[in-house]
């Protein structure tokens, strides 16, 4: 437990994570669907990675970017798994400062990496539909590798200062976090110090990653739509748009809960605590669970390989 009394002048070396307020007696039952979601996420993304790795015909740009998305989703699930199940199984709410800072580093780093991967996938669809004759020459394996490294480098560089910015603060008073895991925007509010620099830097990171990426994705799809509408054959138009459906679903699954949670944390102070908790679970659990399902259902090549693997 947190050491010492929780008065304004007391200090602590731990934070308290939260489950679902008011439903503590139901935590063991709530853990069952959570375990199922984690299981689906881990098995689904591992299956996608295995199929793409072992099937030479899938070593194409679209599927290489999909493997990056699956790897990122797998990392996000594993980041929150220990603390979430620890709370709902055994009521282990305590988390040390360093462990909390490390967890939020990986959560935010992987979240912004996923945003970069979704932007890369939008670029892949743009080249495939708008520049089909140059597709193979533009998106070579070397270029894809560089895009992946650049995406990872951007995420790490932007998130790396956050744990150190939080570590310099003293923390006192009630050190209860709203979620079952650590987020920068929550932890900084528990500091007994001026957090203006953290707030400004956090907003800068969101705008320069999620903000820029989402605008570029919209711009890519505007160009794709213009190209598709210029195709004479309706069958060809539908075929071209169908290749984008899975990616559009992945974009909506990722950006909608992320933007919703950010708005609630920054502007929705009067929102019920339960809304914050539910949005937090949707933000980190829903995309990793749904992405492999969406791609398995909507992408014929993946669907055929999954069916063949499980049927045999």
- Give the whole-angstrom CA distance, residue 149 versus residue 304: 30
6 domain residue, yes or no: no
12 domain residue, yes or no: no
Confidence tier at 7 by pLDDT (50, 70, 90): very low
Encode pLDDT of 273-298 as tens digits: 777 788 888 888 889 999 998 888 88
Given phi > 0 = left and psi -120 to 50 = alpha, else beta, which region is 140?
A: beta
18 domain residue, yes or no: no
> Pick from 15, 4, 207: which is nearest to 102 by CA?
15
Structural domain that includes position 175: 23-311
11 domain residue, yes or no: no
Domain count, the chain: 1
CB atoms inside a 10 Å sphere around CB 29: 10
17 domain residue, yes or no: no
288 domain residue, yes or no: yes
The pLDDT of residue 261 is above 80: no
90 domain residue, yes or no: yes
The pLDDT of residue 3 is above 50: no
pLDDT average, residue stretch 230-257: 83
- Pair type for strands 14-16 and 94-96: antiparallel
Give me the CATH number covering residue 236.
1.20.1070.10
Alpha helices in 57-195 (DSSP H): 61-90, 97-130, 135-138, 141-159, 161-167, 184-187
- Helix 97-130 to helix 141-159 angle (10° resolution) is 150
The rounded mean pLDDT for the chain is: 87
- Give the whole-angstrom CA distance, residue 162 versus residue 202: 8
The pLDDT of residue 160 is above 90: yes
- Do residues 245 and 298 touch, judged by C-beta distance below 8 A? yes
> Pick from 282, 308, 285, 243: which is nearest to 47 by CA?
308
Q: What is the pLDDT of residue 266?
A: 67
Percent of the chain having pLDDT more than 90? 50
5 domain residue, yes or no: no
- Give the whole-angstrom CA distance, residue 159 versus residue 155: 6
> How buried is 2 (Cβ within 10 angstroms: 0-12 exposed, 13-18 middle, 19+ buried)?
middle
Coil, helix or strand at residue 173: coil
Q: What is the pLDDT of residue 312?
A: 65
- What phi, psi does 14 have (nearest 5°)? -135, 160
The pLDDT of residue 30 is above 90: no
The pLDDT of residue 90 is above 80: yes
């Amino acid at each position: 437990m947190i050491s010492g009394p929780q008065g304004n002048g007391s200090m602590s070396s731990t934070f308290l994570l939260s489950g679902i307020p008011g439903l503590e007696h139901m935590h063991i039952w709530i853990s069952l669907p959570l375990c199922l979601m984690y299981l689906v996420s881990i098995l689904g993304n591992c299956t996608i990675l295995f199929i793409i790795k072992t099937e030479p015909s899938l070593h194409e740009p679209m599927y290489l970017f999909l493997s990056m998305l699956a790897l990122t989703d797998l990392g996000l699930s594993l980041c929150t798994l220990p603390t979430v199940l620890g709370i709902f199984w055994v009521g282990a709410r305590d988390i040390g400062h360093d462990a909390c800072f490390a967890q939020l580093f990986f959560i935010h780093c992987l979240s912004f990496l996923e945003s970069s991967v979704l932007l890369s996938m939008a670029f892949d669809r743009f080249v495939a539909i708008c520049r089909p004759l140059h597709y193979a020459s533009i998106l070579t394996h070397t270029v894809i590798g560089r895009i992946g490294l650049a995406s990872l480098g951007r995420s790490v560089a932007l998130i790396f200062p956050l744990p150190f910015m939080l570590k310099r603060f003293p923390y006192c008073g009630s050190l209860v976090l709203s979620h079952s895991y650590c987020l920068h925007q929550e932890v900084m509010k528990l500091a007994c110090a001026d957090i203006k620099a953290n707030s400004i830097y956090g907003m800068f990171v969101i705008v320069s990653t999620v903000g820029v990426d989402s605008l570029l994705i919209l711009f890519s799809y505007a160009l794709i739509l213009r190209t598709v509408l210029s195709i004479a054959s309706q069958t060809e138009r539908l075929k071209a748009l169908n290749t984008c459906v899975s990616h559009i679903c992945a974009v909506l699954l990722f950006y909608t809960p992320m933007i919703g949670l950010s708005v609630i944390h920054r502007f929705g102070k009067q929102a019920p605590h339960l809304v914050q908790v539910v949005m937090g679970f949707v933000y980190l659990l829903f995309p990793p669970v749904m992405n492999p399902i969406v791609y398995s259902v909507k992408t014929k090549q993946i669907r055929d390989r999954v069916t063949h693997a499980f049927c045999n």
